Amino acid sequence: MRSYLARKILMLPLILLVASFLIFWAVHLLPGDPARIMAGMQADQQVVNDVRSRLGLDQPFSTQYEIFLLHALHGDLGVSIRSHKSVAQEIGERFPHTLALTTVSYIFALVMGLTGGVLAAVYRGRWLDHLVMMGAIAGGSIANFWLALMAMNLFAVELGWVPLIGADSWKSYILPAVTLGLLPGAVVARMCRASMLDIIHQDYIRTARAKGLSTFNVYVKHALRNALIPIVTIVGMNFSGLLGGAVITETVFNWPGIGRLMVDAVRDRDYATIQGITLLTVAIVVTINLAVDLLIAMIDPRVRFE
């Protein structure tokens, strides 16, 4: 177990190094001139050239990568050409917003999905099952930006119950978290139902029931714990993906998170910011995958790492 962990952790810098080169190379392949974008459409060529040399973009590719790498090794991801702030500081300000929104939306998704999935499995074929599954199909198929706009118009513009945009209070979380949590909630509900149905017909569940355990204990302690294994894997992967920024939700709700930062950075060819966010995302995905492995070992004692 320890050596497995150590190996995974030692791999991280190597993965980041390879990723940094690929990202650096890919963003420089993007057509479009950051100097022109910064200087503006009404700027003349002289200005564009001045801006380019000030940003160091007139240097050869290898020199630019060398400078980037040396700085990155010292923890300096460069300065955003857009906000004139250090990329690390920029990410530091924006990432907590994304983390908070993703966490809240996943709590919502898990509570809704697990409750719905268990109930649907227990009441299989009855109206509650049909209701939950209809909800899951709707939640999985409605375009979330459309739902977001409808919900915003009703709850924020017409009724005024929640703020329309921004991340100022707990109320600001309601609409974006529900919008973002709906799809994973639907996935969890369907998976949970299927996996519960597999399990509740197995012998050990019958044994548990025969022992005289309460219904709650049978379903939640014995059945759900085993049903969780595939769900944890899927949720873990989705969660890490979302930490890279829920682009559409963040844009629609003007959420100051990392997803919007990334979109803006790509639009402005803000190389340093694109690199910084992508490296962060790589690190997060690797870390969360590791955490998922460990979590599964905790849930399922049969899993051992060599």
Where do contacts with another protein occur on this chain (CB under 8 A)? 30-34, 36-48, 50-51, 53-54, 80, 82-85, 90, 93-94, 97, 149, 152-153, 156-157, 160, 163-167, 251-252, 254, 256-257, 260-261, 263-264, 267-269
Rounded to a whole number of angstroms, the minimum distance from the CB of residue 284 to another protein is 19
Looking at the Cβ atoms of 104 and 152, the one nearer to another protein is 152
Q: Do 266 and 278 meet the contact criterion of CB atoms below 8 Å apart?
A: no
User: Residue 84 CB, nearest distance to another protein (Å)?
Assistant: 4
Dihedrals phi, psi of 40, to nearest 5 degrees:
100, 160
Q: Which is nearer to another protein, 86 or 287 (CB)?
A: 86
Cβ distance to another protein smaller for residue 52 or 193 = 52
Question: What DSSP state is assigned to residue 79?
Answer: B
Q: Which amino acid is at 14?
A: L
Burial class (CB in 10 A: 0-12, 13-18, 19+), 13: exposed
Q: Greatest CA span in the chain, whole angstroms?
A: 85
CA nearest 93: which of 282, 252, 258, 251?
258
Q: Give the nearer residue to another protein in terms of CB position, either 82 or 222.
A: 82
- The CB-of-79 to another protein minimum distance in angstroms stands at 10
Contact present, 4 and 21 (Cβ < 8 Å): no
In the chain, where does DSSP find H-type helix? 2-29, 34-39, 45-54, 61-73, 87-122, 127-141, 144-151, 171-200, 203-210, 215-216, 225-243, 247-252, 258-267, 271-299
Task: Kindly tell me which of 167 and 200 has the beta carbon lying closer to another protein.
Answer: 167
- Smallest gap from Cβ 209 to another protein, in A, equals 53
Q: Which SS3 state, helix, strand or coil, does residue 86 take? A: strand
State which residue, 39 or 223, has the beta carbon closest to another protein: 39
Question: What is the rounded CA–CA span in Å between residue 183 and residue 187?
Answer: 6
Nearest distance from C-beta of residue 27 to another protein, angstroms: 11
In whole angstroms, how close is the CB of 106 to another protein at the nearest point? 22
